[in-house]
Structure formats: C-alpha cells, structure tokens
Amino acid sequence: MDFTSPLVYGIPCFLGFIAIELTYSKTLDDKQLYKWRDFISSISLGVGSVIIGALIKTATVILVFTFAYELFNPLVNGVRTNIMGWESFGYAWYVWVICMLLDDYSYYWFHRQNHMIRFLWAAHIVHHSLDNFNLGTAVRNGWFTIFYKPFFYVWIVIIGFPPEMLVVCLGIEALWQFQLHTKYIKSLGVLERFLNTHTMHQVHHASNIEYMDKNHGGILNVFDRVFGTWKELDDTVNIKYGVSQPPNSYNLYVILTHEYKNIWQDVAKSKQWSHKFMYIFGPPGWSHDGSTLTIKQIRLAMSKEHS
C-alpha cells in the first residue's frame, strides 16, 4: 500500500496562510512582524528545503526506511514477521494512532538533540536565526537536517510499522509544526494541557535565558512535561526572539553555514582532542576555558548570583 505525504497538499496552504498573515500584519497590526529581506531569505530557504527534500526523498525512504523494514521484517511464506517474532503491523486505525505517537516521541528527541549537540545545532540554528516570529519563520529551515533526521525515526519501521505509514505521520507532524509559528492564535483552552500550542512554541523560539532549550515537542507537550523541558509563556516577560550570535546576513550560504564555520574555528584553536570533540558534539556554548557558556552553565551562574 502506498500513501502520499500530506505535505504535498500542505505546501500551497503554507503559502496562502503566510500571505494572509503578512497582509494582515502590514495593513492592520504590526508592520514590523515581517521584514522584507528576512522574509525573502526565509522563503528562499524554504524553497531550497522543498527541492532538496524532493531530490533525496526517494533515497531516504528506500535506503533508510524501506531497507530497514525489509531487513528486520522479512517476508516468509506470505507473512511479514519482525525480529521480535510478532507479525508486522497492518493499517488498522489504532496502528495509525500508535505510529503517530511514536513519531511524536521521536520528533521530541530529534528536536531536543538539535539543541543539545552543537554539530546538529549548526544545521538547526537556521530556523532560529530570525529576531521575529511569524509563519515565514516556519519555512526557514536548514538544508542539512534532512540528511540525519531519518535515523531518529528508523526504529519505528524496524519494529514493524510500514515505511509509508511513517512518511504520512511525518507529514502530519510537519503540518502541525508549521501553523504553530504565529502569535495571532492565543490560548487553546483545555487543549493546552496536552498539545504543543502557539504560545508554547513562542517560548521555544525565544532567546530569553529562562525560555531557551524549552518546549521541543511536536504535536504533544507531554514529552516536554515528562522529561523536564516544558515551560509556559509568562505574559509579564518581554519576549525576544532569535539567537545570541545571529548570522547578520541575508546571504543564504552564510545563513546555512555560519555555525559550521564557528565550529571549525573553535576546533582549530583547541589543542586537546577531548576539547575538539566537545566543540563538535558538546552542547552549544561549551568552551574549554569558560570564555563561552552553555545554557545550563548560565542558569547555574544566575542562580548562584540570586542565592
């Protein structure tokens, strides 16, 4: 059975909603919500992501998901059985629900590690590099995450979920993530208890120290609550968006690669191999001499100052 990713139909809707929000903000609300040069660079990055995604989607599905599915779920006498001995899953509604939950769990860890491992952050920082928050930000994606993202999800097909089912779930996740990038939708009431909502995603994009590295969830906020990364928006806090060291450029090459350049410079100046390793795979902000600090180190220092 074959399924089409919902993103095929979602992309035209993305453009339509961006146009509506842009028009509303420019004519009736906040004229600074969209800055034209930032917006053009975001759209260009989004177009590039779509093109690259289309080019390597087949390779991703065949070489990663399908290969893993066939390898760990062999077809024997007409029955596909996984390595744990049970029959691989079909397409019942409850299997779809379980697959969606596992997809959301994987998204949480994929997203969280993008903030915890500097080499991955170098790809993900593109999405956070604007000092604003709008639907245009949603399509401002790095081009390199697509090369490692499948490896956070491949375990789902290994245990027996069909690859095409996972592809659809990934598309649904992306649709929800897109519409979170607007400040015009406020509280969702009782849904706030378990869904990742627009105000929660504003927290995620904030550069305020109390908000950084929070709310990594996809559709649900359950995993943030369980693993201690959930944070509610405080209306009394003057929220700031972006990163501490933005690329300060509209050049796509600079936007996409500036953090890799910074990593290379840090690795080159360090003499110990353990330091070089940490500059690549340690958390963003880590330094061997304390010249820069991680978010945890900054928070610890601030707590000591106030104690």
pLDDT digits (tens, 9 = 90+) for 193-241: 999 999 999 999 999 999 999 999 999 999 999 999 999 999 888 999 9
Q: How many CB atoms lie within 10 A of CB 14?
A: 20
Bigger pLDDT: 87 vs 296? 296
pLDDT > 90: percent of the chain: 63
The residue behind tokens 């034209």 is 36
Predicted TM-score of the model (pTM): 0.93
Give residue 1's pLDDT. 55
Give residue 222's pLDDT. 97
Which tens digits make up the pLDDT trace of 208-219? 999 999 999 999
Give residue 82's pLDDT. 82
d(CA 176, CA 269): 42
Give residue 10's pLDDT. 72
pLDDT higher than 60, residue 2: no
The CA distances from residue 234 to 92, 135, 220, in Å, are 41, 22, 20
Q: Max CA-CA distance within the chain?
A: 68
**Residue 184 backbone dihedrals phi, psi, to 5 degrees:** -85, -15
pLDDT higher than 80, residue 307: no
Single-letter amino acid, residue 215: N
Which tens digits make up the pLDDT trace of 86-114? 888 888 999 999 999 999 999 999 999 99
pLDDT > 70: percent of the chain: 96
* CA atoms within 13 A of residue 274's CA, in its CB half-sphere: 2
**213 phi-psi bin (left φ>0, alpha ψ -120 to 50, beta other):** left
d(CA 281, CA 259): 13
Tokens linked to 201: 């995603």
pLDDT higher than 90, residue 245: no
pLDDT higher than 70, residue 159: yes
d(CA 202, CA 198): 6
Q: How many CB atoms lie within 10 A of CB 81?
A: 16
Average pLDDT, the chain: 90
d(CA 105, CA 117): 18
Helix (H, G, I), strand (E, B) or coil at 180: coil
pLDDT higher than 60, residue 184: yes
pLDDT higher than 70, residue 57: no
d(CA 287, CA 275): 8
